[in-house]
Structure 1
Amino acid sequence: MRPVTGPIRVLIVDDHRLFTQALELLLRGEDDIQVLGAAETGEEAIEFCRRTPVDVALVDIDLPGMDGIAVTSRLQEAHPEIRVVVITAYQQPDVIARAVRAGASGYIMKTDAADTLVSAIRFAVAGKMVLPAGRLAPTMSPSGRWLQSEPTPPGGRQPSGEAGRRQGMLSDRETEILEAISEGVSTTDMAARLAISEGTVRSHVKSILSKLEVHSKAEAVMKGVRLGLIGGARPGVG
């Protein structure tokens, strides 16, 4: 993604005009955010991004024709520099999982406070991720696989490019710990489960954050899922 030196360029993708207008009004009150326009369908959004540089696309799930998850996947394939923040009324964990797999950098509710949306846009540009609080762990099984979701990214492709190079970058123990983090397991319980000290767990967590170049456990889980390190097929895992 380009270094953002000017206002963050935002495209709104939603077919509800009243909501779009309210969102535009809200965002235009932010000095560091520029609303470039709005698209009512996924096809319009893809065409807009083909013609106009966009930093962040705010994408609704429930769109006519191509749904928001498909739009997210298409945008990430054609324009990986664009950060997609899903903004929707859907709160189901499996939908969140599918959005993350498609490449979303954030997932927020339409009922969230305005400052949550604004923060999500800024976090996305900074390479950070935002998820609904308390809704990440239920999307994953104890084995680290997404529930009610495909075992591979959209289109049946395995991660490639940077994602492919990063596979295997975590040790087996670090992968175990990252999976445990995704389940919401505490440091104390993690230590007991793996028969290691809490200090060793914290040391592994620090190493995971460093290797994945993130700043929090939530970001580590999100990035691990997107890179195929957890939550799907990994080398040696059927």
Structure 2
Amino acid sequence: MIRLLIVDDQHLVRAGLRMLCESTDDIEVTGEASGGAEAVRLAERGLLDVVLMDLRMPGMDGIAATERILAARPATRVIVLTTFDDDDHLYPALATGACGFLAKDIAPGELLDAIRRAVRGETPFSAPVLRRLVARAVSTRPAADADAGRLDITARERTILELVAAGLSNAEIGERLHLGITTVKTHIANLMTRTGCQNRVRLAVLAARHGLTGDE
């Protein structure tokens, strides 16, 4: 069972998220917080797997709360869920250790999938956010850097790398390529080992630098 804390200053938003998450068999909402300070207190009291974190709240904001929670409980996965998906909010949130960044207009099923992906160690991002993150990373790094040169990967790994860059989850990649999810996980683990990328975002950046965008 995934233990979830919902953090948002709007009661209606929290209620809607609770109803959505509690409609599943594998997610348990263990608490709600209307501000960052309350979120930190709740996180310190009980064991959590995932925090859905709003950013703009009275008092302690979501960025400061994320930093405090992860300092105390580094294994907790924090997913930012916000109306403000601009760079001024994206990069500070990632710098504090948030594992994902979702806009509040995300579909309900995609949000539930993102929570599950976070627990599995993935980095869930709304597709537009991931594309912007990758574009900025590519534009701010010289072409002739450590990522330049030929990628020493198999044809299958190259295809999977393209789909990672397109923002697909392991399950979506498996469905697209008719592979089991364990096989997809193995390919992605091999890609990280071969390329030295520590997470899916870095894999996506690497793919973009080599022109592997996953566009159809």
State whether TM-score is above 0.5: yes
SS across alignment from 1:128: coil
In 1, Cα distance between the equivalents of 2:202 and 2:27?
A: 23
How many correspondences in the alignment?
166
Is 2:87 the partner of 1:93?
Answer: yes
RMSD (CA atoms): 2.5
Residue 153 of structure 2: aligned partner: 203
What is the 5 A alignment of 1:4-153? Answer: 7-133=1-127, 134-140=131-137, 142-144=139-141
Cα deviation for residue 138 of structure 1 reads 4.1
Cα deviation for residue 202 of structure 1 reads 4.5
Given that 1:129 and 1:219 are in contact with CA atoms closer than 8 Å, whether structure 2 keeps it comes out as: no
Given that 1:12 and 1:58 are in contact with CA atoms closer than 8 Å, whether structure 2 keeps it comes out as: yes
In 1, Cα distance between the equivalents of 2:202 and 2:116?
A: 15
Cα deviation for residue 220 of structure 1 reads 3.6
Cα deviation for residue 212 of structure 1 reads 4.3
Q: Percent identity?
A: 34
Cα deviation for residue 42 of structure 1 reads 0.8
- Cα 1:212–1:113 shift into 2, 3 Å: same
Given that 1:97 and 1:139 are in contact with CA atoms closer than 8 Å, whether structure 2 keeps it comes out as: no
Unmatched tracts of structure 2, length 5 or more = 155-160, 162-187, 206-216
* 2:39 aligned partner, one-letter code: A
- Cα 1:87–1:42 shift into 2, 3 Å: same
Cα deviation for residue 114 of structure 1 reads 0.4
* 2:153 aligned partner, one-letter code: S
In 2, Cα distance between the equivalents of 1:44 and 1:82?
A: 16
In 1, Cα distance between the equivalents of 2:3 and 2:204?
A: 27
Normalising by structure 1, we get a TM-score of 0.63
Cα deviation for residue 141 of structure 1 reads 6.3
* 1:142 aligned partner, one-letter code: S
- Cα 1:35–1:28 shift into 2, 3 Å: same
**Structure with more of its chain in helix, by fraction:** 2
* 1:135 aligned partner, one-letter code: R
Given that 1:87 and 1:110 are in contact with CA atoms closer than 8 Å, whether structure 2 keeps it comes out as: yes
Measured against aligned partners, the alpha-carbon deviations of 1:25-65 in whole angstroms (never above 9, x if no partner) come to 00001100000120011111111111111110100011111
